[in-house]
Structure 1
Amino acid sequence: VIINAAGILHTPEFMPEKKLADLQYQQMMETFRANTFGPAMIIRHFSKLLDSERGVMAILSAKVGSIEDNRLGGWYSYRASKAALNMFVKTAAIEINRTKPRAVLIALHPGTVNSKLSEPFRGAQIGRTPDAAANDMLGVLDTLTAADTGQFYSYNGDRLPW
Structure 2
Amino acid sequence: MKSRNSLKSRKELDAELGGAARAWLDEALAEAAHDAADAAATPGAPRPEASPYASPPWELRYAAAGRHCGRENADSVRSLLLVEARASLPSVTRLYDQGTAAERRAVLLTLHLLDLGDTALPLIEDALRANDTRLVAAAVGPYAADHLDPHAWRHAVLKCLFTEVP
Same fold (TM over 0.5): no
Higher strand share: 1
Higher helix share: 2
TM normalised by structure 1 equals 0.35
Structure with more contact order per residue of length (Cα contacts < 8 Å, sep ≥ 6): 1
TM normalised by structure 2 equals 0.34
